[in-house]
Structure 1
Amino acid sequence: MDVSPKTLIDQQPITRLQYTTVLICFLMNMLDGMDVMVISYAAPAIAKSWKSSPEALGIVFSSGLFGMTFGALLLAPFADTLGRKTMILISAAIMGVSIYLTAESTSVLHLIGFRFVSGLGIGSMLASTAALAAEYTPDKTKDFWVSFAIGGYPVGAVLSGLVAARVIPESGWQTMFQLAGMATLVALPVIQFFLTESLEFYLKSQPADALVKANVILDRMRMNTLSVLPPKPTRRQGIPLTAVLDGEYKTPTIQLWIALFLAFATLYFLTSWIPKLASNAGLSIELAIYAGTVFNVGAFFGIVTQGYFSSRIGLKKTIGIFLIMTGVLMAIFGLFMGSSLLLVLFGLLGFGIQGGFVGLYAVAARLYPTEFRTTGVGWSIGIGRLGGIIGPAVGGVLIGMGLSMVTNFLIYAVPTIFAGIMTLYISSKKIR
């Protein structure tokens, strides 16, 4: 009998354990979306209260992205040795404590520090949940399920936006951070008692008691248990980055990094600055928050739609179309200024940029093997987040210079289109 977990999972119907695993990954990414976006929703109120400049807020946004970068690069790879579940627990604890304490900030410097620490957890959470979802889903529908799991991100952003629109005007921005922190901490027992460690991790990394733990999972999935562990794969020599950039992985990895860098730059410019730009355009704080919320509603539907079509016509073609069309919409944004269709356009931008962006996570999860999958996904996200750091910071400078929303959108249309083109040319036989 072929005991490969990949073969077992590919050939049999999805079980309750697998659905539960993907659902918890979805929930964890909901918390990720909430914790990332809460600073954007609070930004107009903080700016008004502290009389902060756009440049200062740009640094706050980017500090969180610096944290996410280090979380993806330095923390996420530990999931390949400690396990996906352990890393998800650690990530949630970091997020919950730091987000809650952000409410105690009394200066921009405090915000920068807390956003950096929370970013560490957010960055490692995204990489770990993407890897776990990929390892528990059949090959033919893997792209959909990975995209679905990451799709929790905009759902969390939407729900927190709806709450923020009520809480911030009535109770202050500090209360919003307290609520977000408590919601994340409450998830810790859910992870501990209901999330299952990766079967592939037990069989290939083979930590202590791996056979017993793997057989418990196989039994719960109604599969034949094992009498012995399969031969342990030979570890690649060198640091994890060497493995990611080795042989057949080198060229597609560099192509993926470029696409993610460019897509991240645009995505985080949009998610960070849409509420503030809308506020500058004359909308009330409540309506400015709703503009960001509409963006994230579109994002969820874009992610699910992208996952559906990626499973049928291929990841590269689907993602490329999503990103290029988003760039075109951004380039013609000025045609919609003052129109009742403006909020619809925000939704379409979220649909396209998030759908394409999350599809790149699925590319990373499919590209790398179990032995260093979280490392590969983490480094891809980490390199991409460098673009995410630059995007909001440059946006802050451009807005501080007095450039309009239309001009900013036109500028950021360029990297979006190039990200779509680069995705179309990713050279790997594992990805179509």
Structure 2
Amino acid sequence: MRTIDVSALIDGAHFNAFHARVLFWCALIIIFDGYDLVIYGVVLPSLMAEWGLNSLQAGALGSSCALVGMMLGALFFGSLSDRIGRRKTIMMCVTLFSGVTAINGLAQSPEAFALCRFVAGLGIGGVMPNVVALMNEYAPKKSRSTLVALMFSGYSLGGVLSAGLGMVLIPQWGWQAVFYVALIPLLALPFLIRQLPESLDFLLRTGQTVKAQILLTQAVPSYVPSATDQLNHIVAKGTNASIAQLFQEGRKLSTFMLWLAFFCCLLMVYALSSWLPKLMSAAGYGLNSSLAFLVALNLGAIIGAVAGGWLGDRIGIAKVLFVFFSCGALALSLLALKAPLPVLYLLIAVAGACTIGTQILANACTVQYYPPQIRATGLGWAMGVGRTGAIIGPLLGGALHASSLPLQASFLIFAIPGLVGAIAILVFLIQNARNRSGSLRHSYHTT
């Protein structure tokens, strides 16, 4: 009988066609997840004009429907997947957000629009922690942060797609047209069902050893399975995930700091994504120019996420997070200064890299911090608690727009959460260093 260390095998694997397949499908899901999410900022000027919404009403509509749904979806589906499996949960979430977002295009009133956004938000919030956890589980250790960041940069690609299609479709066919594009993931669902693997951790916890061996041979082609193999994993068979585990084994302060960082980051992300086109439009830029700023924001996020993931694999993802939070606060502060248009685009791209890009890296940091059996639960709760920041963001943007403050003042206010987030990650780094030092001392004394 051989004892196989599954985690060590996957950690030492080389990137192959199996990893590419997981990356492709997870990234595709995130692309349309991001598309569905950014779509509100794209259609906001049209909705305000058609339904006669004022700034505060528009901010409430953006925060009280999709984002509340996302908060609840992240909390519920993140924990659920640790019990029923990532694959089933992801399929449920894709069906929910894709189908209902398409139906959203038929809304005839703010109330119907809000209901559709809430239900779609459940799926959007639920799918994120699960695809991140799945990609992290199968990615080789030496490229883990890069692959997770590359996959999650699909969120920003979806934002670019949403803004780009908005520039083309809205003038021709109205705001409804951009919602119908969201049907594509639903049409791809049969292929997704065949191609997306289940979590190895879940299979081993539930005693599905043969299925786990088949997937392991795909992830690590050098592994030759045997009927007598004992697959050894960090998590023992039958172990159940529990929210209380997020605060055990010295994780309490670190968990709270991650939650605070998520809150700050998501506040900045959703304030900018929801209100950047409208704020720039109010500053005198046309609709297409205002949407072009949204494109710059998301393009910057893609570059920032991939570069940050690459750097995180070399110096540590939490250290990169601290730098990104600090740079995000600085970039948003500099936007308060009057600058030429090319400099403005550059600063907005940097802001995208250090807000949306920071959120992508925070996801990667969180799934790497928690052990496998509570990985989706940990990320789900961090995203769920952080969604309160996402809810406040559009409301804050609406209040700033309604107050008729100068554009520069709005960017200065948006920069404050970046500074708080940097402090939270600094505390997280210090606490983890202390925990590691304590573990080493304990190991020394027991030996």
How far apart are 1:361 and its partner, in Å? 0.6
Q: Does the Cα contact within 8 Å between 1:276 and 1:288 map onto a contact in 2?
A: yes
How far apart are 1:337 and its partner, in Å? 4.5
Work out whether 1:220 is the aligned partner of 2:218: yes
Deviations 1:154-175 (A, max 9, x none): 0111122111110011100111
Q: Hey, what does 2:245 align to over in structure 1?
A: 243
Whole-Å Cα distance in 2 between the matches of residues 220 and 279 of structure 1?
51
Q: Hey, what does 1:40 align to over in structure 2?
A: 41
How far apart are 1:374 and its partner, in Å? 0.6
Q: Helix, strand or coil: the match of 2:293?
A: helix
Q: How does 1:53-132 map to 2 (within 5 A)?
A: 53-62=54-63, 63-132=65-134
Q: Does the Cα contact within 8 Å between 1:314 and 1:431 map onto a contact in 2?
A: no
Whole-Å Cα distance in 2 between the matches of residues 87 and 10 of structure 1?
25
Q: Hey, what does 1:262 align to over in structure 2?
A: 264
How far apart are 1:263 and its partner, in Å? 1.1
Whole-Å Cα distance in 2 between the matches of residues 297 and 264 of structure 1?
18
Task: Give 1:206's aligned amino acid.
Answer: T
Q: 1:354 aligns with which of 345, 353, 356?
A: 356
Q: Does the Cα contact within 8 Å between 1:364 and 1:376 map onto a contact in 2?
A: yes
Task: Give 1:428's aligned amino acid.
Answer: N
How far apart are 1:251 and its partner, in Å? 1.7
Q: Hey, what does 2:236 align to over in structure 1?
A: 233
How far apart are 1:262 and its partner, in Å? 1.0
Q: Does the Cα contact within 8 Å between 1:331 and 1:410 map onto a contact in 2?
A: yes
Deviations 1:39-84 (A, max 9, x none): 1101111111112111111112112111110010012211111111
Whole-Å Cα distance in 1 between the matches of residues 261 and 436 of structure 2?
15
Q: Does the Cα contact within 8 Å between 1:368 and 1:376 map onto a contact in 2?
A: yes
Task: Give 2:225's aligned amino acid.
Answer: T
Change (3 A) 1:60 1:2: farther
Q: Does the Cα contact within 8 Å between 1:266 and 1:391 map onto a contact in 2?
A: yes
Whole-Å Cα distance in 2 between the matches of residues 14 and 144 of structure 1?
12
Q: Helix, strand or coil: the match of 2:354?
A: helix
Change (3 A) 1:213 1:96: same
Whole-Å Cα distance in 2 between the matches of residues 165 and 260 of structure 1?
30
Identity among equivalent pairs (%): 29
How far apart are 1:291 and its partner, in Å? 1.2
Whole-Å Cα distance in 2 between the matches of residues 398 and 2 of structure 1?
60
Q: Hey, what does 2:10 align to over in structure 1?
A: 9
Whole-Å Cα distance in 2 between the matches of residues 151 and 166 of structure 1?
23
Change (3 A) 1:368 1:136: same
How far apart are 1:346 and its partner, in Å? 1.4
Deviations 1:73-110 (A, max 9, x none): 01221111111111111110001111011111111111
Q: Does the Cα contact within 8 Å between 2:31 and 2:154 map onto a contact in 1?
A: yes
Q: How does 1:10-29 map to 2 (within 5 A)?
A: 10-29=11-30
Task: Give 1:153's aligned amino acid.
Answer: Y
How far apart are 1:240 and its partner, in Å? 2.1
Work out whether 1:381 is the aligned partner of 2:383: yes
Q: Does the Cα contact within 8 Å between 2:44 and 2:278 map onto a contact in 1?
A: yes
How far apart are 1:380 and its partner, in Å? 0.7
Whole-Å Cα distance in 2 between the matches of residues 113 and 3 of structure 1?
49
Task: Give 2:277's aligned amino acid.
Answer: P
Whole-Å Cα distance in 1 between the matches of residues 197 and 101 of structure 2?
26
Q: Does the Cα contact within 8 Å between 2:12 and 2:141 map onto a contact in 1?
A: no
How far apart are 1:219 and its partner, in Å? 2.9
Q: Hey, what does 1:156 align to over in structure 2?
A: 158
Unaligned runs of 5+ in 1: none
Deviations 1:201-223 (A, max 9, x none): 212x225xx12211221233322
Q: Helix, strand or coil: the match of 1:335?
A: coil
Task: Give 1:225's aligned amino acid.
Answer: P
Q: How does 1:141-290 map to 2 (within 5 A)?
A: 141-180=143-182, 182-203=183-204, 205-206=205-206, 210-221=208-219, 222=221, 223-227=223-227, 230=231, 233=236, 240-290=242-292
Q: Does the Cα contact within 8 Å between 1:326 and 1:349 map onto a contact in 2?
A: yes
How far apart are 1:235 and its partner, in Å? 6.0
How far apart are 1:226 and its partner, in Å? 4.5
The alignment's C-alpha RMSD in Å is 1.9
TM-score by length of 1: 0.94
Q: Helix, strand or coil: the match of 1:3?
A: strand
Change (3 A) 1:211 1:399: same
Task: Give 2:16's aligned amino acid.
Answer: T
Most deviating of 243-252 and 269-278: 243-252
